[in-house]
Amino acid sequence: MRELKIFSGRANLPLAKSICEHLNLPLGRMSLANFPDGEIACKIDEDVRGRDIFIIQPTCPPVNDNLCELLIMLDSFVRASASRITAVITYYGYARQDRKDEGRVPITAKLIANMIVRAGAQRVLTMDLHAAQIQGFFDVPVDHLYAAPVLNSHFTQAKFDRELVIVSPDEGSIKRAIGHAKRLGGTLAIVDKRRSSAMETKQENIIGGPVKGKTALMFDDMISTAGSICGAAELVHAAGAKEIHVAATHGVFCGSAVQNIDKAPIASLVVTDTIPLHLEQSSPKIKVLPVGPLLAEAIKRIHHDQSISAMFSVPEPTK
């Protein structure tokens, strides 16, 4: 009876279909709609009693709608007597408030985790959390995937002519940059970023390097307004980098993000399809890389109680 079934909310249906194609499974039948007042209606259109259920639903913009839809779907499967329910949250919204950095503010990353578990998630599969410690906010097992193999493969195939420098756009991304440097080679540089508010940042200095005359590869977990990444690119360009290429797992692209990227000295930007891009978010500079095969492999391993960490245990390149 513990048959694998995959269902999807409306947040990223193309990704769910990609995962099903790689697993050679049909996408589960479910009806989702909105009442005239905006409330979400949900009905599972097939038998799921005793089944191993995976729900594909990133909490990307519109964040509150997609989050509420996920909670309603989870409750539906609990009441339909599913054996195990895994929430596949490829992008975890509300992750940026993961601690109290000043008085009288919430820790929304923990609050949302509590809501997802309380709604019925017995396991969570996610990708490149904004802060790795958020895994501990869930009172159920969390499998944390990394898009690094997909991004590294893209840049390895590019075969750049100039010497590489891997740039961390802020101090919070240093560990990520070191990991990419180990796989791709090159030196390491860090942009000193100062945040003045939730909306404004300023890039001050470059630590390490040098970047002059080199091809700079810049990695981040997400790009929202693109203010930080464009500011970092301006600083690296001013320091003499010949080309700047940017990679991020999650392309949120809020407001004028795409226009900011088009104006910035960025040669190319790659993101994955954890979040669907809309037509107005397209740009000649932006390329989307698929993570469906990676997620499909993880889902298969979870279903068969196999190791997830083994997926990322690749040998270091020989020098």
What pLDDT was estimated at residue 312? 86
Burial of residue 289 (number of CB atoms within 10 Å: 0-12, 13-18, 19+): middle
| Number of domains, the chain | 2
Question: In terms of domains, do 261 and 279 share one?
Answer: yes
Which of 102, 86, 187, 103 is CA-nearest to residue 142?
86
User: Is there a contact between 73 and 7 (Cβ–Cβ < 8 Å)?
Assistant: yes
Which of 6, 3, 2 is CA-nearest to residue 86?
6
Q: Is the pLDDT of residue 238 over 80?
A: yes
Q: Is residue 224 part of a domain?
A: yes
What pLDDT was estimated at residue 318? 45
Distances (CA, A) of 199 to 170, 287, 306: 15, 25, 42
Which two tokens mark 147?
């898009």
Burial of residue 70 (number of CB atoms within 10 Å: 0-12, 13-18, 19+): buried
Question: In terms of domains, do 286 and 306 share one?
Answer: no
> What is the mean predicted confidence (pLDDT) over 213-235?
95
Question: In terms of domains, do 152 and 141 share one?
Answer: no
> What is the mean predicted confidence (pLDDT) over 133-140?
97
Question: In terms of domains, do 213 and 90 share one?
Answer: no
Domain of 182, in residue numbers: 148-290
Which two tokens mark 214?
């080199």
Which of 164, 229, 161 is CA-nearest to residue 193?
229
Lowest-pLDDT choice from 47-51, 190-194, 195-199: 195-199
Q: Is residue 259 part of a domain?
A: yes
The pTM for the full model equals 0.93
285 φ/ψ sector (left φ>0, alpha ψ -120 to 50, else beta): alpha
* Mean pLDDT of the chain, nearest integer: 93
User: Is there a contact between 93 and 59 (Cβ–Cβ < 8 Å)?
Assistant: yes
Q: Which residues are catalytic?
A: 193
Question: In terms of domains, do 165 and 77 share one?
Answer: no
* Amino acid at the residue 217: L
Question: In terms of domains, do 26 and 62 share one?
Answer: yes
User: Is there a contact between 9 and 56 (Cβ–Cβ < 8 Å)?
Assistant: yes
User: Is there a contact between 227 and 259 (Cβ–Cβ < 8 Å)?
Assistant: no
Q: Is residue 317 part of a domain?
A: no
Question: In terms of domains, do 24 and 97 share one?
Answer: yes
Q: Is the pLDDT of residue 171 over 80?
A: yes
Q: Is residue 195 part of a domain?
A: yes
Burial of residue 151 (number of CB atoms within 10 Å: 0-12, 13-18, 19+): buried
Higher-scoring residue by pLDDT: 318, 27 = 27
Q: Is residue 247 part of a domain?
A: yes
For the domain that residue 152 is a member of, what is the CATH number?
Answer: 3.40.50.2020
Q: What 3-state class would DSSP assign to 208?
A: strand
Which of 295, 237, 319, 283 is CA-nearest to residue 20?
295
Q: Is residue 232 part of a domain?
A: yes
What pLDDT was estimated at residue 203? 65
pLDDT one-digit tens code per residue, 74-130: 999 999 999 999 999 999 999 999 999 899 999 999 999 999 999 999 999 999 999
Q: Is residue 319 part of a domain?
A: no
Which residue in this structure is represented by tokens 């929304």?
108
Q: Is the pLDDT of residue 278 over 80?
A: yes
What pLDDT was estimated at residue 172? 83
Q: What 3-state class would DSSP assign to 315?
A: coil
Which of 146, 119, 122 is CA-nearest to residue 132?
146
Q: Is residue 318 part of a domain?
A: no
> What is the mean predicted confidence (pLDDT) over 244-263?
96
How far apart are the C-alpha atoms of 199 and 206, rounded to whole Å? 22
